[in-house]
Amino acid sequence: MFDFVLNFLIHGATHASWVAKLVYFFIVTQLTIFSVTLYLHRSQAHRGVDFHPALAHFFRFWSWLSTGMVTKEWVAIHRKHHAKCETEEDPHSPKIYGINTVLLKGVDLYRVASHDKATMDKYGIGTPSDWIERKLYGSHEYWGPTLMFIINIALFGIWGVVISAMQMIWIPFWAAGVVNGLGHWWGYRNFETADMATNLTPWGFFIGGEELHNNHHAFPSSAKFALRKFEFDIGWAAIRGFEKLGLAKVLRVAPALDVRPNVSLPDAETLKALLTHRFQVMTDYFRGVIAPALSDEAANAGARLKNLPRALRKALANGGRWLDERSRERLQNEVKQRPLLATVCEFRTRLAGVLERGNSGTEAMLASLQEWCREAEATGIRTLAEFAARLRGYSLAPASHA
């Protein structure tokens, strides 16, 4: 009897090899990641995709079993993050809490936010509220991880404790820590969004495609996160696979930006495209107008201009939105000393103002946009005139499901 118990504790019921244990760990953690990114995030929080009820319930069950996550809590916290991003009401902003806190203690921030009833009531609308959610998943969130712990010990003996511990650390670290922390602190940006979201890598496969965080913040309701030809989103690949099996229906994908030739003045189609792609428009403006102006000023002014710190140069992309007061004042003084740069920055501010007045009426916005284009072309600044001419023809192309 003693030998049997000892043997069970060492090897569990499976007597699995190290390779088998690693494969099992990879499978269960990836299932949890897919449950988060596909079901909780893309489907429940943003309604970008619908899954077959059986598959949706499996994702919901697995989230509860492996981590104890409750659908309404996760969705409400994430929706509030988008609504209050980078403000003191953001549940997990590195700008507010610091990168170390979000990276290492993200799960604690999640717990605090989950106990805020006002947040749950306001942002958790539309999530499952059936009997099993009320009586089991939502009422006994710790039963899931406890059951997972028992299963792991039954399968692998004492090593099941190690696997369970790593499971409980793995998901909170990567999801609550890396995505919410590093995803707003370090990486590259395709779009100059109104927050600090970044893409961690162009290849999103390790954490389900969530690496493409800047893309997601630019188009939150899109079920597809990869928006450049060189980017890859494994979560989208999974959705496409489920779609072919009849288990998923894609509801929203970010539309592409197209350019019509020979458009004399911005029209309603232009305005619709600009409002949809306002973040890309501002990014294109920085790359196509402000960056060349910086180079021209540097070439004409010599070493004095080249001393402009990299942080200030990058801040020109968003008008210095995220600089502290002292740095913002310094940037403004630096810009004033450079007439060409001052002009293109002024036009950037005006264009941003037009796009941010989304509720001022189509006719008024269109008139402001047409005036902006006429005056931009009249400046004689080649890059600014070319941008204005291109902007006139902007339109929405059909969304790509490739």
Confidence grade of residue 142 (pLDDT, cut at 50, 70, 90): very high
Query: What b/e sequence results for 137-159 when a residue is b if at least 16 CB atoms lie within 10 Å of its CB, and e otherwise?
Result: bbeebeebbeebbeebbebbbeb
Place of tokens 């897919």: 34
Of the given ranges (5-9, 202-206, 207-211), which has the lowest mean pLDDT?
5-9
Structure tokens at 184: 């707003």
pLDDT tens-digit profile of 12-64?
889 899 999 999 999 999 999 999 999 999 999 999 999 999 999 999 999 99
Q: Is residue 217 classed exposed, middle or buried when 0-12, 13-18 and 19+ CB atoms within 10 A define those classes?
A: buried
DSSP tag of 256: E
Question: CA–CA separation, 228 vs 190, rounded Å?
Answer: 9
pLDDT tens-digit profile of 343-402?
999 999 999 998 887 656 788 889 999 999 999 999 999 999 999 999 999 999 876 666
pLDDT tens-digit profile of 284-339?
999 999 999 988 877 776 544 455 678 888 888 888 888 888 988 988 988 888 89
**What share of the chain in percent tops pLDDT 70?**
94
Residue 289: per-residue pLDDT: 96
Total count of residues recorded for the chain: 402
Question: CA–CA separation, 309 vs 229, rounded Å?
Answer: 32
Under 8 Å between Cβ of 242 and 34: no
* Domain residue limits, the chain: 2-250, 259-397
Containing 257, the helix (H) or strand (E) segment is: strand 256-259
Containing 366, the helix (H) or strand (E) segment is: helix 362-378
Q: Is residue 325 classed exposed, middle or buried when 0-12, 13-18 and 19+ CB atoms within 10 A define those classes?
A: exposed
Question: CA–CA separation, 165 vs 131, rounded Å?
Answer: 30
Residue 358: per-residue pLDDT: 60
**What share of the chain in percent tops pLDDT 90?**
65
pLDDT tens-digit profile of 343-353?
999 999 999 99
Rounded to 10 degrees, what is the CA torsion of 270, 271, 275, 276? -40
Q: Is residue 389 classed exposed, middle or buried when 0-12, 13-18 and 19+ CB atoms within 10 A define those classes?
A: middle
Collect all residues with Cβ–Cβ distance below 8 Å to 61 and sequence separation of at least 6: 137
Residue 11: per-residue pLDDT: 74
pLDDT tens-digit profile of 122-133?
999 999 999 999
Under 8 Å between Cβ of 187 and 198: yes
Collect all residues with Cβ–Cβ distance below 8 Å to 197 and sequence separation of at least 6: 85, 183, 184, 189, 213, 214, 216, 217
pLDDT at 249 over 60: yes
Residue 207: per-residue pLDDT: 93
Taking each helix axis as running N to C, give the angle between helix 159-171 and helix 143-156, from 0 to 180 degrees, rounded to the nearest 10: 140
Mean pLDDT rounded to a whole number for the chain: 90
Question: CA–CA separation, 308 vs 218, rounded Å?
Answer: 29
